[in-house]
Amino acid sequence: MTASSTSSCAPALLSMRELTVKYGPLGEGLPALCNVTVEFRSGEITGILGESGSGKTTLAMAMLGLLPTHAQVTGSLRFHDRELLRLRERDWKQVRGAKIAMIFQEPGLAMSPVMRVGDQIAEVIRAHTSLSRLARRQRVRELLEDVGLPQVDRVFKSYPHQLSGGELSRTAIVQALACEPELLIADEATRSLDVTRRAEILDLFRQANRRTGCAIVFITHDPALLAGFAHRIVVFYRGRVIQDGLTQQVFRQPAHPFTKGLLALVPNSISGKMNPDRRLPEVIDPKSQYADCFNYGN
Amino acid sequence: MRYLERRMLHASFLLIAVSILCFAFSALAPGNFFDEMKLNPQISPATVAALRSQYGIDQPLPVRYGRWVKSLFSGEWGYSFAYNCPVKNLLLLRARNTLLLTAIATLMSWILAIPIGVWTASRRGRWEDRFTQAGTVFLLSTPELVLALLLLQWIVRTHALPAGGMLSVNFEELTFKSKLIDLLKHLMAPATVLVLASLPLLVRHVRASMIEVLQAPFIQAARAHGIGKATLLFRFALPAAANPLTSLLGFSVAGLLSGSLLVEVISGWPGLGPLLVEASMNRDVYVVVGAVMASTVFMIVGSIVADLLLLIVDPRVRTS
Amino acid sequence: MATDLTTRRSEPPIISAAGLNKTYIQRLPFSRKAFAVQALRNVDFEIVRASLTVLAGESGCGKSSLAKCLAAAEKPDSGSIWFEGTELTRLDGCEMASLRPQIQMVVQDSAGALNPRFTAAEIIAEPQEIQRREDRRGLHSRACELMEEVGLPASAANRHPLEFSGGQRQRLAIARALALQPSLLILDESLSGLDLSTQAHILNLLLDLQQRHSLTLLLISHDLSLVGQIADFVAVMHQGSMVEQGPCREVFSNPCHAHTQELLAAVRIIESTYHAAQAGAGR
């Protein structure tokens, strides 16, 4: 195991020990997640850095109990000292949305195309509270205003296909934060947005973190997004944690060639100086000799 | 409303074409209504010829067609030789009987198909689903005729329901409540056959559409928000699955007049079916044309209903 | 070897467009209302031969519409497009067909652009088959050659597109585009949706291909962070108009238009935050 995280006074909100997820009837093939031990603390923004196939989506699904039935999960996943892996479906319903919420990669696809956006958010509130219909609609309107949507009434009545990408992202954030969860998982929440919109959405996350104190797990493949945003970074590679530490630490001392390669891609020549050999630095090729080696640094 | 205007125009062209074709085919087939009379030795050929010219059967085809169109506007819709009355009276009465049967049967089919389809889709692969699938395959492959005859057999054996017809002999003397019960009793057998014949197809389509929708990312996202199963199925998934089902509903409406012919004939329900069969065999030309036109009108209405429903049900079509 | 930028600029551009206008009309069903969206407003554009040009701008600014007009997939309402001295908008079907192999396009959604029932080799062979270039055996070997060139193993020639990863599918789409030996390759947001490292690999691949075949590349992207590091020229669009064009070095050091500044700012903020974080500014 590589660099350990620094101690923090904040209590552990969600912790997983030796979490392993395998697919396949006999568990053959590479596991999607292998012996993952990570802790998420309340009030902290943790960045999960990994590419497709690194197991980050499996991690998010495991935290919400949404893994397919044929997945074999071993290890421990505790939320406030409550073991989640053996939770029954009806107990999961109380956790999902209310305590742990998720924002999916494509917000346009994460909403029903035939239901008005306001109604969909109200349904989430209805599933977890006993507010009256009027109170629910009022709450949705307040939340939409809070995220800075200019035309709240129009957005409330719209269908997902009538909203722009930025509006959809904000609506997805509202839907996830509607019941004030303690942990928010954002799975590539800015991937489908233009670069010019990304900073605004990251701001919204920061706001939510500061105001409600909810912990955020921000999953991304782009290390540059985590700068100035995440307190800690956990780097995933092929189902394992290869580094876990404070943001500055990971940036200054990347432990694995994969991390090094990824960090080298962050632009440093847009200021007008051309890359001398006009090639981008190559990130580790899975077929290379380093691909199967997980232990690096200390 | 440009769309509706266009559809109306197409519909009128279609109706004209169908009427011409119907007329032409009836005329092309050899013989006419009065040929039966020729076999009767008591009626002289002169009488037959006189009757023929009286009813205008010896006129050329376009003239007959013109007279029929005129009778459409005058409210008679042609003349029935066998019943000796304007076709309109016959048609309206029989169509009403048919619609009573088919409307109730179609409604029951849809009311049953949607929950069954939704439930089997949510239980996909498990024994409830397999059992229902086997049942639908069995019903689909059994001809309507066989179902009707089987049911009739059972009725005759057990005397649980009236064996045919629409009303009992003493219908007029019953109280209003008894009249209703009598009608329902007579209706139950043919309606059951119709429901059994159309239910499996609907169930399979609802199930297929729901399965497709249940795999969509927004269903998983809704689960991730903690939305309960019932809400998930009926408020989130079903409306999204309604799109392909609207055209099915259109077909159901389209077949209201024409889909029950066999069942009506077997169970003796006095609807459009037996009338059409009888008129075809008697060469009662104007009745045949009238009945076919009525069915065509329903088909057209059905397809327009399907398109309008799609607009109502799917906001993407409405507002994109 | 790539010739110097200035000498390339003095040559006639491989493709140039002048005064392009394109409006899309959307009609709502059951109503007489129609929305007109003007995707291109009087666009003038040039691409220097054997260069890598990036067309940037936020979504909805008209980049894809411009790409489709340049690739002759759509006809502009007005204006002219000159490709190697021929005016594209005046050509009829036959004449256009003979020019099409020279301009090829790769789109964003690779899964949607590749026929899921074909194998990889059949996908690459399809354009050649349509143009009736070679016989069956030649097609297959050429397909394997192209696959090796884009970095896919030839042993995967019999796999179906959905068995490949996203990055591999884009490589397959690029191989198919190269099958007809085009002189201009347009990539419409082909890199968005891919992981950073995959984007880097594919960009390096494109640079190699450009050197080997003297290809002219037009990359359309809303994200300048990677592409901006290696491109020669940049063109920025905003709400249907071309607001700035020029060599990367000049435009990036001196952006004139507000929107270009916005695009660059988005990249630079991230860049500076990252370097600050790396330097331990939070300590």
Strand order in the sheet with A72-79: A33-41, A12-22, A72-79, A82-83
Confidence band for A9, pLDDT divided at 50, 70 and 90? low
Q: Within an 8 Å CB–CB cutoff, is residue C280 touching chain B?
A: no
Contacts 24+ apart (CB under 8 A), B97-100: B97/B166, B97/B269, B97/B270, B97/B271, B97/B272, B98/B256, B98/B257, B98/B260, B98/B264, B98/B269, B98/B271, B98/B272, B98/B273, B99/B256, B99/B257, B100/B187
The closest of B106, B313, B141, B116 to B207, measured between CA atoms, is: B116
**pLDDT digit string (tens) for chain B, length 320 residues:** 677 788 889 889 999 999 899 888 887 877 777 777 777 777 787 877 777 777 777 778 888 888 888 888 888 888 888 888 888 988 999 999 999 999 999 999 999 999 999 999 999 889 989 999 999 999 999 998 899 899 888 888 888 888 778 888 877 888 888 888 888 888 998 999 999 999 999 999 999 999 999 999 999 999 999 999 999 999 999 999 998 898 899 888 888 888 888 899 988 899 999 999 998 888 888 898 899 999 999 889 888 888 888 888 888 877 75
**Confidence (pLDDT) at A7:** 46
Q: Which residue has the higher pLDDT, A3 or C47?
A: C47
Q: Which regions of A23-119 does DSSP assign to beta strands (E)?
A: 33-41, 45-49, 72-79, 82-83, 100-103
Q: Which two tokens stand for residue C136?
A: 């069956």
Q: Which two tokens stand for residue B318?
A: 């409405």
A17 in helix, strand or coil?
strand
Confidence band for A8, pLDDT divided at 50, 70 and 90? low
Q: What domain range includes position B107?
A: 88-319
With b for 16 or more beta-carbon neighbours within 10 A and e for fewer, the C170-200 pattern comes to bbbbbbbbbbbebbbbbbbbbbbbbbbbbbb
Count CB atoms within 10 A of the CB of residue B171.
Answer: 14
Instruction: Give how far A107 is from chain B: nearest CA, Å.
Output: 9
Q: Within an 8 Å CB–CB cutoff, is residue B319 touching chain C?
A: yes
Confidence band for C1, pLDDT divided at 50, 70 and 90? very low
Strand C52-56 and strand C216-221: the pairing is parallel
Q: Please report the sign of the dihedral spanned by the C-alpha atoms of residue A154, residue A159, residue A164, residue A167.
A: positive
With b for 16 or more beta-carbon neighbours within 10 A and e for fewer, the B234-251 pattern comes to ebbbbbbbbbebbbbbbb
**Confidence (pLDDT) at B240:** 92
Q: Is residue B169 part of a domain?
A: yes
Q: Within an 8 Å CB–CB cutoff, is residue A176 touching chain B?
A: yes
Total of domains in chain B: 1
Confidence band for A53, pLDDT divided at 50, 70 and 90? confident
Q: Within an 8 Å CB–CB cutoff, is residue A114 touching chain B?
A: yes
Q: Is residue B230 part of a domain?
A: yes
**Confidence (pLDDT) at C29:** 64
Confidence band for A27, pLDDT divided at 50, 70 and 90? low
Rounded alpha-carbon distances, angstroms, from residue C11 to C49, C83, C143, C178, C209: 8, 14, 33, 24, 21
Percent residues over pLDDT 70 in chain C: 94
pLDDT digits 0-9 by tens, C133-175: 667 778 888 888 899 999 888 888 888 988 888 888 999 999 9
Q: Mean pLDDT, chain A, as a whole number?
A: 84
**Which residues are A39's β-sheet partners?**
A15
CA A118, CA A120: separation in Å to the nearest integer? 5
By Cβ distance, the residue of A197, A262, A269 closest to C196 is: A262
By Cβ distance, the residue of A64, A113, A126 closest to B240 is: A113
By Cβ distance, the residue of C26, C29, C32 closest to B317 is: C29
Q: Which two tokens stand for residue A123?
A: 């349904």
The closest of C45, C57, C51, C3 to C232, measured between CA atoms, is: C51
What's the residue count for chain C? 283
C237 in helix, strand or coil?
strand
Residue of B nearest to A157 (CA): B315
pLDDT digits 0-9 by tens, A56-72: 989 999 999 999 888 88
Neighbour-count burial of B28, counting CB atoms closer than 10 A to its CB (0-12 exposed, 13-18 middle, 19+ buried) = exposed
Strand A240-246 and strand A232-237: the pairing is antiparallel
CATH label of the domain that carries residue B279: 1.10.3720.10
Count CB atoms within 10 A of the CB of residue C103.
Answer: 24
The C-alpha R_g of chain B, in whole angstroms, comes to 24
Count CB atoms within 10 A of the CB of residue C135.
Answer: 9
Q: Which chains touch B (3 or more CB pairs under 8 A)?
A: A, C
Listing DSSP states for B16-45 in one string gives: HHHHHHHHHHHHHSS--TTHHHHH-TTS-H
Tell me whether residues C222 and A271 touch, CB distance under 8 A.
no
Say if residue A298's pLDDT is above 50.
no
By Cβ distance, the residue of A228, A268, A280 closest to C204 is: A280
**Which residues are C186's β-sheet partners?**
C105, C218
The closest of C90, C45, C78, C20 to C184, measured between CA atoms, is: C45
Q: Please report the sign of the dihedral spanned by the C-alpha atoms of residue C253, residue C256, residue C259, residue C261.
A: positive
For A87, which DSSP code?
A: -
Tell me whether residues A113 and B222 touch, CB distance under 8 A.
no
**Confidence (pLDDT) at B233:** 93
Structural domain boundaries in chain C: 1-84+184-196+206-275
Q: Which two tokens stand for residue C184?
A: 């201009």
Q: Within an 8 Å CB–CB cutoff, is residue C282 touching chain B?
A: no
Say if residue A2's pLDDT is above 70.
no
Instruction: Give how far C256 is from chain A: nearest CA, Å.
Output: 14
**Which residues are C47's β-sheet partners?**
C15
Residue of C nearest to A263 (CA): C274
Tell me whether residues C30 and B1 touch, CB distance under 8 A.
yes
Tell me whether residues C226 and A280 touch, CB distance under 8 A.
yes
Count CB atoms within 10 A of the CB of residue A104.
Answer: 23
Confidence band for A271, pLDDT divided at 50, 70 and 90? very low
Confidence band for A272, pLDDT divided at 50, 70 and 90? very low
Confidence band for A285, pLDDT divided at 50, 70 and 90? low
User: What does the pLDDT average to over A80-92?
Assistant: 88
Residue of C nearest to A196 (CA): C266
**Confidence (pLDDT) at A39:** 93
A180 contacts on B by Cβ (under 8 Å): none
Class for the domain spanning C1-84+184-196+206-275 = alpha beta
Q: Which of A230-234, B274-278, C223-227 has the lowest mean pLDDT?
A: C223-227
Helices H / strands E in chain B, number of each? 15, 2
H-only helix segments in A213-273: 223-226, 247-252, 257-264
Cα angle B316-B318-B320, degrees, rounded to a multiple of 5:
55
CA B261, CA B257: separation in Å to the nearest integer? 8
CA B294, CA B287: separation in Å to the nearest integer? 11
User: What does the pLDDT average to over C168-191?
Assistant: 91
pLDDT digits 0-9 by tens, C91-105: 888 888 888 889 999
Confidence band for A75, pLDDT divided at 50, 70 and 90? very high
A200 contacts on C by Cβ (under 8 Å): none
Cβ atoms of residues A35 and A2 within 8 Å: no
Say if residue A110's pLDDT is above 90.
yes
**Confidence (pLDDT) at A103:** 94
User: What does the pLDDT average to over C255-261?
Assistant: 88
Strand A12-22 and strand A72-79: the pairing is antiparallel
Say if residue A139's pLDDT is above 90.
yes
Q: Mean pLDDT, chain C, as a whole number?
A: 86
pLDDT digits 0-9 by tens, A182-228: 999 999 988 888 887 888 899 999 999 999 899 999 999 988 889 88
By Cβ distance, the residue of A52, A266, A279 closest to C204 is: A279
Place of tokens 């519909």: B11
C223 contacts on A by Cβ (under 8 Å): 194-195
Q: Within an 8 Å CB–CB cutoff, is residue B140 touching chain C?
A: no
Pick among B209, B218, B310, B320 to test the A interface (most A CBs inside 10 A)? B218
Say if residue C3's pLDDT is above 80.
no
Helix-, strand-, coil-residue percentages of chain A, each rounded to 5: 35, 20, 45
